[in-house]
Amino acid sequence: MKKKLAAAKSPERKAALKAQLKIAKKIVALKKALKSAPPAQKAIIRAKILKAKVALKKATKKVQVVTKKVDAKKIASIKAKIASATFPERKKALKAQLKAQKKVAALRKKLFSAPPAKKAAIKALLKKAKAALKKTTLKVKKVTGKVEKVKSKILKSRIVEMKKKLAAAKNP
C-alpha cells in the first residue's frame, strides 16, 4: 500500500490510499494488542478488529472506484490530445499511448475482481504494461518536443514574412 501511495499522482487516489493505509495500520495494531491483552479484553478487541476489517473492505472498494475514475480521465485526456493533434507523427505516438493506457486500465480492472490465485500473474502483466506505457509516454514527449520546434520555426518564418510585408507596404 505504501508503494502505491508513493506512486499515486492523483490527489483523489492519494487520499483514498491514505485512508486505506490508516485502517490497515489500525488492524495491525489491534492484532498486536490482542496478543498481549488479558482474556477479558480479547472479545472487545476482536470486535474492534472485525469492525476495522469491514472499514478496510469499504476503503479498498473506494480505492478501486477512484482508480477506475483516474484511468478513465487519463484515457479521455489522451483522446482529447489525439483529436487536437495536427502532426501525424504525434497522432501516431498518442494512439500508441492510448492503446497502452487502455491495456493498463483493463488489467487493473481485471486485478480487482481476480481470485487471489491469479493475482500474481495479473500483477506481472500489469507491471509489463506499465513499463510499455512509460515507454510510449516518453515517446510522446519526445515527438511533442520535435513538433514544438517545428511549430516555432514556422511561426518565426511567418513573423519574418509579416515584417517584410510591413516594411514594403507604403503608407498612402
pLDDT computed for residue 136 by the predictor? 94
pLDDT computed for residue 7 by the predictor? 75
pLDDT computed for residue 99 by the predictor? 96
Q: Give how far the C-alpha of residue 80 lies from the chain's centroid of Cα atoms, to the nearest Å.
A: 17
pLDDT computed for residue 5 by the predictor? 75
Cβ distance 97 to 132 under 8 Å? no
For the chain, what percentages of helix, strand and coil (3-state, to nearest 5) are there?
90, 0, 10
**What single letter denotes the amino acid at residue 59?**
A
Cβ distance 96 to 142 under 8 Å? no
pLDDT computed for residue 107 by the predictor? 93
pLDDT computed for residue 72 by the predictor? 93
* Regions in the chain scoring below 70 on pLDDT: 171-172
**What single letter denotes the amino acid at residue 5?**
L
pLDDT computed for residue 172 by the predictor? 58
pLDDT computed for residue 9 by the predictor? 81
